[in-house]
Amino acid sequence: MPAELIEKYFPNLTEQQIEQFSKLEELYGEWNEKINVISRKDMDSLYEKHILHSLGIAKVMEFAPNTKVLDIGTGGGFPGIPLAILFPHSHFTLIDSIGKKITVVKEVSQAIGLKNVTAVHGRAENLKEKFHFVVSRAVTQMPVFLRWLKGKFEKEQFNPKHNGVLYLKGGDLSEELAGMKAEIFELNKFFDSEFFETKKVVYLSKGNFNS
């Protein structure tokens, strides 16, 4: 079962979490027939390239209960849905500017019984809510992304150890992150596969953006 790949790296999953991860293959397979949410060539490696990749964030940050997390440009639900399965006591708001992708997020979340996901159709820069963390994967260049974060963090709740941005990136980041105080975590330290050789989690705490 492909969900075994997830158990290999996250051995403390509950039965419910294992079932939820297991169901994703069929659900995304069905949705991909109707709407192209995941590139078709990647469907065979859904668990590695999308689910485990999304969970790279969980190797860097363990979200405490009641943490509010925003996933900007979630597409079909990455990294938000895998993280919401892994952290059932945190709340995840998944936003995308394309309505049909948000339909997929809503349907998949409902089908696996996720109670901690809110799916929003809209542009991230227009969202007025406040969060503790922002996560994202493959949406835009960091300087643009940082502008979208204005007003997204509660000032009085801001604690640099417990708030910030976790961004999944590939390739060379030196130019994009020039002048920023970023911590970079190489995912091949956590996951044993060629796919992760160039993949990283960029962690930005306050000081890099106008909260």
Ligand X SMILES: C[S@@+](CC[C@H](N)C(=O)[O-])C[C@H]1O[C@@H](n2cnc3c(N)ncnc32)[C@H](O)[C@@H]1O
Annotated binding site for S-adenosyl-L-methionine: 73, 78, 124-125, 137
Residue 19 burial class via C-beta count within 10 angstroms: exposed 0-12, middle 13-18, buried 19 and up: middle
Q: Are 190 and 58 in contact (CB under 8 A)?
A: no
Each residue 89-108 as x (binds ligand X by CB under 6 A) or -, in order, gives: ------xxxx--x-------
Residues in the chain: 211
Q: Residue 168 CB, nearest distance to ligand X (Å)?
A: 7
Which of residues 97 and 205 has its CB atom nearest to ligand X in the complex?
A: 97
Helices 15-34 and 99-111 sit at what angle, rounded to 10 degrees? 150
Binding part of the chain for ligand X, among 137-145, 154-162, 178-186, 189-197 by CB under 6 A, reads: 137-145
Please count the residues of this chain forming the interface with ligand X, following the rule CB under 6 A.
Answer: 16
Among the residue ranges 61-69, 72-80, 179-187, 200-208, the one whose residues contact ligand X (CB under 6 A): 72-80
Nearest to 173 by CA among 191, 160, 185: 185
**What 3-state DSSP class applies to 200?**
strand
Produce one character per residue of 177-198: b if its CB has 16 or more CB atoms within 10 Å, e if not.
beeeebeebebeebbeeeebee
**Of the listed pieces 2-10, 70-78, 110-118, 181-189, which binds ligand X according to CB under 6 A?**
70-78
Question: Nearest CA to 83 among 71, 95, 98?
Answer: 71
Binding residues: 73, 78, 124-125, 137
> Is 138 near ligand X (CB under 6 A)?
yes
What count of Cα atoms within 13 Å lies in the side-chain half-sphere of residue 206? 18
Is residue 48 a contact point for ligand X (CB under 6 A)? no
Of the pair 118, 162, the CB lying nearest ligand X is at 118
173 lies in the site for ligand X, by CB under 6 A: no
Residue 124 interacts with ligand X (CB under 6 A)?
yes
Q: Answer yes or no whether residue 131 interacts with ligand X by CB under 6 A.
A: no
With binding defined as CB under 6 A, does residue 73 bind ligand X?
yes
- How far apart CA 131 and CA 32 sit, in angstroms, is 30
Residue 125 touches ligand X, criterion: CB under 6 A: yes
Binding site for ligand X (CB under 6 A): 72-75, 78, 95-98, 101, 123-125, 137-139
